[in-house]
Chains A and B, each alone.
Chain A
Amino acid sequence: RVQFTEYIQKNVALYQFRNGIPLTTAAAANFTRGELATALRKNPYFVNILLAGYDKETGPSLYYIDYIATLHKVDKGAFGYGSYFSLSMMDRHYHSGMTVEEAIDLVDKCIMEIRSRLVVAPPNFVIKIVDKDGAREYAWRESVKDAAVAS
């Protein structure tokens, strides 16, 4: 998983150096899909990706790319077993033009759902935000502070 995302990261940076302008989110998403699709028939990567980006002209966008290179631009997306609960939560509460506070509130609702409904729920979550000022870690939601305890 780390290998693939680093590979994409470095190639996006390379494009920036070569061409002098940073890749748009749509272009990066299509590039990622192309890489996954080419590898699919030989040596597939088992990575599901949610790619979020902010472009000055088009604003924020979210792309859903699954491990067999299906690309789709979405307003809300989720992967894994928790996706069953999160997607329903988001279907109910999402509307376009939400503020950051409303969005964090929705994410917290999803996290609560996952924590209560999923048997194999992870204890700790990180929330990241991507906007005109770039990508940054916004908050952690931890229920197990010391995750290094061996069980």
Chain B
Amino acid sequence: MCMELQLGLALPGSDTWSRPLLKLSLYEDINVNSKKRGFDHGYLEDEFSAASFKNYEKGLVGWPPVETWRRKKLRCQVHNHMTAAENGYCGGRASNSTYVKVKMEGVVIARKIDISIHQSFEKLTTTLMTMFDIFSHFPFIFGSVDENRRSFKLTYQDKEGDWLIAEDVPWR
């Protein structure tokens, strides 16, 4: 099952989110090496105060030390309790990977991010902003992390090619 998401980040002041300044494309890579995440997460520098970030936002690999098969089996159960099985998210043949590849326009190197370790869109956006070093690309963005984050709108493009606001859909 291949899910193609395209995320767009729009700067404050832009009238429509359909003309994003930064376009992030997410492709669910079926063959993604879910075990090869080591460095991509190590890349995340703790630029902001430690207090505002917990393990899961820092993207600590392998912490807490719960075996990968145990995590998968437990996560599948939570999903089955909450959403319909035909979602295909965690059934028998669906990809077990929750890794998505993020590519930013104008940047050669793609990054990988595990969406399952993020609990909300805010946290996902913040992580993406850090990953792509947005603050050094756009020095005119002042204010706190929260203010800047709120000025970006996450959008995604579903299979039919429609652009939708990510936050309209529940996180899970």
Chains A and B form a bound pair: no
State the B residues within 8 Å of A (CB).
none
